[in-house]
Amino acid sequence: ALSPRCGWVLSGLEQRLAGPAAVSPATARPYAAAAAKAAKKDAKRSRQEKAKEGAKEKPLPRRRPLMSKPVDDVYLTWLYRRPSYELEQAVGMLKRFQELDFTHPKQFVYINVFLDMALQKKKKVDLFSSGVALPHRFTDEVNKVLVFTENEQEAEVAREHGAAIVGGLELIKWILEDEIQADFYVAVPGIIPKLIPLRNKLKKKYPSTRRNSLGSDIPRMVQFFRECHEYSVEDESVIKTRIARLDMPTEHIIANLKTIIQDICTFKPSNFDPIVQRLVIRSSTSEGLLLNLDGILPQVEKAEEKEEEDAADEDQQKPAQESIST
């Protein structure tokens, strides 16, 4: 009597079984998100393709050519080429700037030298530093020079001429431990084979004939390095160094500048393009003035012109030799 009748269904269950199967929102959400993401990617891809097609069809904007010389005193600098000045004219302008600005008359004069370090087959000039004796000194600063020698007489000569430190192999340990440091290191030929442990430590300051820091003339080497002006390449291809004081005569400033430029030009073979590409001069408080390189760079005779001259000389000598033989 208590068992359900055959075919009996609970109230409302029949309607639920007869209706269509419903999908829960939690189940449907991942599929909807995936479809929206795919549609977004397709829309983005179509926009990128349209943008590329528009860029190909749109011509590149033409840059307005720079004008050479402004007409007025006030102008937009980015519309004109940077003016270049003759060396004497530029130095005169720096002196005039100092008078107008009421700045210190004995301020330093600097040059920025932009270099072309390229050689053939993707090779480059190695970064270098050098010391040069300026024709007109502009500072009383004296460099600290160390002299390597085991000869007591040579050591005494070095001390008499102003060497700050003189010694032999005992200096190697102190230098490696940074207990002794100097601006320049000079050596005599007899001791140089024993200084090999210092090669990696001193690097470019290691005594060598290329730097004129290896030789037998101790007085000359000590005097040169005590008073020489040192410069080095920075940022791969730029030299920034001071060359004079602004109150010096113009011809002295020019002589110092040309001396440094000539020394820089020796670090690249003459059969390549000049190593100096641009040269800017300035004082401590002035703007930089671009210099015209004509008359500043050393004159190098081209190999082709030299061959032509040699051929012409041979042609002139032949008739003379034939006349003598006849």
Residues 19-35: tens digit of each pLDDT: 555 555 555 555 566 67
Whose tokens are 């920025």? That residue is 112
Task: Label residue 326 by pLDDT band (50, 70, 90).
Answer: very low
Identity of residue 326: T
pLDDT of the residue at 322: 46
Asked if pLDDT for residue 272 goes beyond 70, the answer is yes
Other C-beta atoms closer than 10 Å to the C-beta of 127 total 14
CA 109 to chain centre: 20
Interval 291-317: pLDDT, tens: 999 999 987 654 444 445 555 555 555
Average pLDDT over residues 58-72: 68
Whole-number Å distance between alpha carbons of 183 and 41 = 65
**What's the burial of 290, exposed, middle or buried (CB within 10 Å: 0-12/13-18/19+)?**
middle
Whole-number Å distance between alpha carbons of 293 and 152 = 49
pLDDT of the residue at 59: 60
SS3 sequence of 236-294: CCEEEEEEEECCCCHHHHHHHHHHHHHHHHCCCCCCCCCCEEEEEEEECCCCCEEECCC
Share of the chain above pLDDT 90, in %: 59
**Helix ranges (DSSP H) in the chain:** 13-18, 25-57, 87-101, 152-160, 170-176, 199-202, 218-227, 250-265, 303-325
Interval 86-132: pLDDT, tens: 999 999 999 999 999 999 999 999 999 999 999 988 899 999 989 99
Query: Quick check: pTM over 0.85?
Result: no
Q: Which domains does the chain have, with CATH numbers?
A: 84-127+235-291 (3.30.190.20), 145-228 (3.40.50.790)
Average pLDDT over residues 59-65: 64
Asked if pLDDT for residue 157 goes beyond 60, the answer is yes
Residues of 55-69 as b/e, b for ≥16 C-beta within 10 angstroms? eeeeeeeeeeeeeee
Three-state SS for 322? helix
pLDDT of the residue at 303: 42
pLDDT of the residue at 26: 52
pLDDT of the residue at 266: 92
Interval 205-221: pLDDT, tens: 999 998 899 999 999 99
